[in-house]
């Protein structure tokens, strides 16, 4: 016995599943960023930009800590170690390129005092800020 299946009539399950995973990832990322913003605000920092996008890439959070402009990358995973491990060198380069672009529009430009933080949020919502973690790159 043979069957003929018209592929055009099949549901787009792989595409739908990918959309669901993408929506979940976006939502969990947004939730992690919200946790990070609350933690930074509690520490007295001012949020300047959220998900700022330039030609060089996107920066999750841009904050002000006195005279210091803080660029923060927020990573969410089941554990803090997994979140740290998900940050790749190419992404760090894009963050630095985007930060240079952002600083071009600031009064002191590239002479501004800056810091690059990595913020990890684990599966329980625990948030850790690693100040200057991306500054070495």
pLDDT per residue, tens digit, the chain (137 aa), is 555 555 555 566 676 777 776 777 778 788 899 999 999 999 999 999 999 999 989 999 999 999 999 999 999 999 999 999 999 999 999 999 999 999 999 999 889 999 999 999 999 999 999 999 987 65
* Contact of 102 with 52, CB cutoff 8 Å: yes
Q: What is the side-by-side strand order in the sheet with 46-54?
A: 46-54, 57-65, 68-76, 114-121, 127-130
Q: Do the Cβ atoms of 98 and 37 come closer than 8 Å?
A: no
Structural domain contains residue 41: yes
91 burial level (CB within 10 Å; 0-12, 13-18, 19+): middle
> Which DSSP helix (H) or strand (E) runs through 97?
helix 89-103
- Domain range holding 58? 7-130
- CATH for 95: 3.40.1350.10
Q: Domain total for the chain? A: 1
């Amino acid at each position: 016995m043979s069957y003929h299946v018209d592929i055009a009539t099949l549901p787009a399950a792989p595409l739908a599943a990918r959309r669901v995973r993408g929506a979940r990832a976006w939502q969990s990322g947004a939730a992690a960023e919200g946790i990070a913003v609350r933690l930074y605000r509690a520490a007295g920092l001012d949020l300047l930009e959220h998900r700022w996008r330039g030609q060089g890439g996107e920066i999750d959070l841009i904050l002000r800590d006195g005279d210091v402009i803080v660029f923060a990358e927020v990573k969410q995973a089941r554990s803090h170690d997994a979140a740290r491990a998900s940050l790749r060198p190419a992404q760090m380069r894009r963050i630095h390129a985007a930060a240079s672009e952002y600083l071009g529009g600031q009064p002191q430009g590239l002479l501004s005092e800056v810091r690059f933080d990595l913020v990890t949020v684990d599966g329980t919502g625990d948030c850790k800020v690693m100040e200057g973690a991306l500054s070495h790159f």
